[in-house]
Amino acid sequence: MKSNGIARMGAIAALYAGCTLVTMLFLGNLAWGPVQFRVSEALCALALFTPAAVPGLTLGCAIANVANIALSGTGMLGLLDVVFGSLATFAGALFTWKMRRHPLVALAGPVVANAVIVPAYLPILLQATGFYTIPFTSISLDGAWPLMYLFGLVSTGLGEAVIMYVLGYPLARSLARAPYFKELSPFGVKTQQADR
């Protein structure tokens, strides 16, 4: 990777980690909890423009999840989020990069990856941090992993879809109009003509 790509990767990693930590400070558990609206996931739209976004987003996610271990007190169980949460971000960003010629389809990558991967380990983390029932229900987490997974699949998927299509897609459209991003834009001629 050229130095320009490394710089982009580092900037994206720092931006993702910083946005995630700000989300946690101002929106509480919405960055890590059972119902997730991790605003920084909108940055996965950057994978529409550069392959450096794939490792950058993955590194940023890992940094934010390591910081969460210290802030939330999950201890060594937090490593599940570092490994598998970062894997979900990597898979989603890679899909976005590979499908960039079809932006609306490409942005589904992070939605599906997070919806499938995160709920697989989330019940373990929730129990470790004091959640013993599925939020908004009286269903116990003890012995109810399939129900918790189903709840997580729906809640994480919906939260990620809102972030990707309500924040990420408009972010990508806006960036496509900026001079720096115009030549990298997956939106092609239509976006440039719409600006005139």
Condensed to tens digits (0 to 9), the pLDDT of residues 133-162 reads 666 666 666 666 787 788 889 988 999 999
* CATH assignment at residue 127: 1.10.1760
pLDDT of 32: 66
* pLDDT tens for each residue of 21-74: 888 777 766 666 666 778 899 999 999 999 999 999 999 999 998 988 887 766
Give residue 187's domain range: 3-194
95 token code pair = 């899909």
Q: What share of the chain is helix, strand, coil (3-state, %, to 5)?
A: 80, 0, 20
* Full-model pTM: 0.85
- The string of DSSP letters for 99-168 reads TTTSHHHHTHHHHHHHHHHHHHHHHHHHHHTT--B-TTS--BSTT-HHHHHHHHHHHHHHHHHHIIIIII
- The count of domains in the chain is 1
